[in-house]
Amino acid sequence: MAGGQGSRLRPLTLTRPKPMVEVLGRPVIDFVKDAMVDAGVNNLVVTTGYKGEQLSAHVSNWAEDGIAARINQEAVPMGTAGSVRLLLDELTETFIVGSGDSVASFDIQALLKAHKANGAKVTMALWEVEDPTEFGIVGLSQDHQGELDGDLRQGFIRQFKEKPTAEEAFSNVINAGLYIIEPEVLALVPEGEKFDFSKQLFPMVLEMGWPMYAKTIDGVWFDVGHPFELIRAQHALIEGKDTLPFPVPEGRFSSAGSYFAPGIDSNANIAGSVISNRVAVDEGAKIEDSLLMSGCEVGSNVIIQHSVLGRHVKVGEGAVIRHAVIGDDVVIEPNGSVIEARIPSNA
């Protein structure tokens, strides 16, 4: 699923769909694609909406991995379940649905095994969080239609709750956005109607008494819904580079906790940051806890801290950027200052 606009990621998503935002120099959607390919999936359809033409060009390159891949473009936004329902005639056996806008690792084979063993109509991947109040939580039971047990990390789904208060939270496992689904479940989605998996379809299936199973995953999961979550995600990926369950893009990791795309070599002071493809950083620049996307140019004596720079941003000599999110193709004048700001790509 890759049809969302990513409004909370603006201005980065003014010029690209959310799944094409980069983490470690790769589009976010590629991480979920890799998990599916590793599980033996060889036929992928990407449901697209906002700026789908960019995803079309990107997905066409996946054939190099020996898989069949294409997009299915929505004419109008149909919601998560509604977009997949457009493929109803093709999805005639058990199928997998993943979110193309999160960095995630899933043992999909283990989820499939649990799905079949428990006779489930839907099986959901879960992720454990410390604070469940910002997510949609899931309550489980040991048996189908059994008693809810908030300590379970695997079992039959008994209850959902969107963004509960601390007092309302009956568990701390959340919907991680990957599902194993049977065709008869998809047939419940009304034709031509905007419809959502988590808010509408899954509560409907639960009310009907159909068995729904869930299993908490290990590994990596990040919802990159906010620009500064991109920085948090890249830190975790850099720190866990030797134990990640998926291949890390080719590049160089520095002792200062940074990642440099292939061919990037700089004498600048760079720590805790990701420097993507075709980025030029002049000597004397200082970059900390930041993300510079492809094609950026940074002049000498520039200071960039806790910021995200979109593609082809040009930063003039001596400029200072702190706690800022800057869209594509922006030019920061020499000795300019950008602090706690979001600058759109048409600035």
Measured between alpha carbons, how far is 96 from 213 in angstroms, rounded to an integer?
Answer: 14
pLDDT value at position 240?
A: 72
Q: What is the DSSP annotation of 136-170?
A: EEEEEESSTT--B-TT-SEEEEEEEEES--TTT--
Instruction: Per residue of the chain (347 residues), give pLDDT as tens.
Output: 887 777 777 887 787 888 888 887 788 888 888 888 888 888 899 888 778 788 888 888 887 767 888 888 888 878 889 999 999 999 999 999 998 888 777 788 889 999 999 999 999 999 988 888 888 889 999 999 889 898 899 999 999 988 888 888 999 999 888 999 999 999 999 998 899 998 899 999 999 999 999 999 887 787 777 788 888 888 877 777 777 766 677 778 888 888 888 877 777 899 888 888 889 999 899 999 999 988 999 999 999 999 999 999 999 999 999 999 998 999 999 998 898 888 875 55
DSSP state of 323: S
Measured between alpha carbons, how far is 67 from 35 in angstroms, rounded to an integer?
Answer: 13
Helix, strand, or coil (residue 324): coil
| CATH no. of 250-343 | 2.160.10.10
178-193 burial code (b ≥16 CB/10 A, e <16): bbbbbeebbebbeeee
Q: State the alpha helices, DSSP H only, in the chain.
A: 29-38, 52-59, 79-85, 108-117, 183-186, 202-208, 227-239
Containing 338, the helix (H) or strand (E) segment is strand 337-339
CB of 138 closer than 8 Å to CB of 214 = yes
Tokens of 42: 């060889």
Give the C-alpha distances (Å, rounded to integers) separating 246 from 17, 100, 274, 321: 23, 16, 18, 33
Measured between alpha carbons, how far is 254 from 265 in angstroms, rounded to an integer?
Answer: 11
The CATH architecture that domain 7-223 belongs to is Alpha-Beta Complex (3.90)
CB of 294 closer than 8 Å to CB of 309 = no
Q: Where are the domains of the chain?
A: 7-223, 250-343
The number of C-alpha atoms within 13 Å of 9 and in the hemisphere containing its C-beta is 26
Tokens of 201: 């379809």
pTM for this prediction: 0.83
